[in-house]
Structure 1
Amino acid sequence: MIIDAHRHYWDPSRLDYGWLEHAPATLQRAFLPSDLEAATDACLLVQAAPDERETLFLFDIARHTDGVLGVVGWVDMEADDATQRIAALVEQGQGLLRGIRPMVQDIPDTEWLARPSLDRAFDCLRDHGLVFDALVDNRHLRALSQRLARHSGLVTVVDHGAKPNIADGQFASWAGAIARVAQVPDVACKLSGLLTQADLNNGMAAIEPYVAHLFESFGGQRVLWGSDWPVLTTHATYEQWKACAQKLTRRFARRHETAVFGGNATTIYSLAGRVPAAASGATS
């Protein structure tokens, strides 16, 4: 079973997705399961708005959509009652909540991740067995390393390879920083979101050295594929990106294809034995 470890569904008529105001016009509309019916891969849904109501929205989609294995949601990590909020989402999800993703890339303070005031919330993620999805770029990797040093056993997944600036060829500083993060054993990385960091005309070729470095740094057992659909659609179709990622995985992590395209997500997000909610007949 192939697992898409990073898929979005959103509906701007229901919630405020502020970042969409600066996104390409083609993304400024609702994207729902009916828009991707041709893709039969199982998936994890990932938050796209800093709003706990969106996590509940994704739970509802998961309960009514074939193939959804879980949700990576959002919670206010800075709230005084952050631990209670996390516990409440765990209960409301009834097994669907597999991780939490603060939208670090959109927070003006690039050292936000290192704030001691967040310690309780991160401890709570670990204690509930939730994954920390790190939506970061090169500006945040030092603070991310500081955060990880405080929480032994916190399973962390770096989204989109930490979003290297591929279009401008900025490789060296990113490569050193992501390699240092990869030295932490509980950290994995998504093979996702790279095409949209590259120039539209040569993205497939441009991402190759970055993918090679991710596999060199994390190894085939700590890299997991994600589509980043529908953001992906500005540069490629779902099937085009999947085929590209499969080709690159065969080149740089031969014999790890099954792990990258499903096994690693199953292990990291504790999906073993899970049945998609819609297939089990659950209702919201």
Structure 2
Amino acid sequence: MIIDTHLHLIYRDRLSYPWLSGVPALDADFTQEAYSREARRLGIVAALHMEVDVAAADIARETAMIQALAGEEGSLLTGAIAACRPESPEFPAYLESVRANPFVRGFRRVLHVVPDDLSEGALFRENIKRLTGTGLNFDLCVLPHQIGKAIALADLAPEVSFVLDHCGVPDIKGGGFDVWKGPVAEIARRPNVTVKLSGIPAYGAEDWTLDDLKPYFAHVAESFGFDRMVWGSDWPVCTLGGGLSTWIGATQALLSGVSLEGKARVFAENAKRLWKV
């Protein structure tokens, strides 16, 4: 059984995605039907939708759209990780509205597309602390040089669960292991941080092989263990690195030496615990 903790759906006729124009390969519709057709064949039984960095005015509409899709017969969607703007004075009111909706399981603010110091602002940090006691997790999407800023947030709110997306976004194609490994090991020392095994095929060369991914997987496994690791498809971004079936196959190969219990934790049990799916 696999729970996908990082699914993106794109409906360009319903929402605005400003960043898509800069990524022609993803500037298309990626629908629930297309995802589910392949996902069911691979053993995926449930999925959390991850916000797709829509225009700020569409944040609430994105959550409403995904919740409506989840209500369709046979949907794999069981919850959403919603977009947010902790740097905004309106965040407290937004947080209260989201807490009233059990479909939302957490938040994400993509930090590698904004100035590095955004997360260091007093208002941003005050609002992150507001997540304490809410049961809502916060996904950290940062580049290797920004992991120190992610560590600061995890230390600021030790009772909040944080998830490091895409193994900390290593530059696999560029051979960025050495500049990535130290920050990842350091953030792993925070017990309130879980790593998400997702995204990494898209960071490799076009002709990447399993051997290219192995040292990165081995390092996150050594740093976090399998009690603090979850799996995500990063669909449709994973199509840039071979697609959903390729990523499932690569993950199974990476986990080939792991116990059945360890695999179950990575693929489903840890997600159940973190997001109550």
Q: Output the TM-score relative to the length of structure 1.
A: 0.89
Q: Out of 61, 65, 68, which is 1:57 matched to?
A: 65
The alpha-carbon distance between structure 1 residues 169 and 268, as it changes in their structure 2 partners (threshold 3 A), is same
Please list, as runs of the form range in 1=range in 2, the aligned pairs for 1:253-272 lying within 5 A after superposition.
Answer: 255-271=261-277
Structure 2 equivalent of residue 112 of structure 1: 118
Structure 1 equivalent of residue 103 of structure 2: 96
**More off after superposition, 245-254 vs 180-189:** 245-254
Please list, as runs of the form range in 1=range in 2, the aligned pairs for 1:1-284 lying within 5 A after superposition.
Answer: 1-23=1-23, 25-36=24-35, 37-40=37-40, 41=44, 42-50=46-54, 51=56, 52=59, 53-64=61-72, 66-91=75-100, 93=101, 95-107=102-114, 109-251=115-257, 255-271=261-277
Question: Residue type of the partner of 2:14?
Answer: R
Alpha carbons 1:111, 1:140 under 8 Å: kept: no
Residue by residue, what CA displacement relative to the aligned partner does 1:221-242 show, whole Å, maximum 9, x if unpaired?
1111111011111221212211
- Deviation, 1:186, is 0.8
Residue by residue, what CA displacement relative to the aligned partner does 1:241-267 show, whole Å, maximum 9, x if unpaired?
112101212236664101000011111
**More off after superposition, 142-151 vs 244-253:** 244-253
Alpha carbons 1:219, 1:253 under 8 Å: kept: no
Query: 2: CA distance between counterparts of 1:188 and 1:243?
Result: 22
Alpha carbons 1:104, 1:134 under 8 Å: kept: yes
Alpha carbons 1:10, 1:32 under 8 Å: kept: yes
Alpha carbons 2:89, 2:123 under 8 Å: kept: no
Any unmatched runs of 5+ in structure 1?
272-284
Task: Name the SS of the counterpart of 2:130 in structure 1.
Answer: helix
Query: 1: CA distance between counterparts of 2:68 and 2:53?
Result: 16
Query: 1: CA distance between counterparts of 2:49 and 2:223?
Result: 26
Alpha carbons 2:88, 2:124 under 8 Å: kept: no
The alpha-carbon distance between structure 1 residues 89 and 156, as it changes in their structure 2 partners (threshold 3 A), is same
**More off after superposition, 64-73 vs 221-230:** 64-73
Task: Name the SS of the counterpart of 1:34 in structure 2.
Answer: helix
Query: 2: CA distance between counterparts of 1:216 and 1:252?
Result: 12
Query: 1: CA distance between counterparts of 2:209 and 2:117?
Result: 30
- Deviation, 1:56, is 2.2
Alpha carbons 1:220, 1:256 under 8 Å: kept: yes
Structure 2 equivalent of residue 278 of structure 1: none
- Deviation, 1:20, is 1.2
- The percentage of aligned residue pairs carrying the same residue is 27
- Deviation, 1:22, is 1.4
The alpha-carbon distance between structure 1 residues 60 and 90, as it changes in their structure 2 partners (threshold 3 A), is farther
Q: Output the TM-score relative to the length of structure 2.
A: 0.91
Alpha carbons 1:212, 1:252 under 8 Å: kept: no
Residue by residue, what CA displacement relative to the aligned partner does 1:185-236 show, whole Å, maximum 9, x if unpaired?
0100110000000001024321110011010000011111111011111221
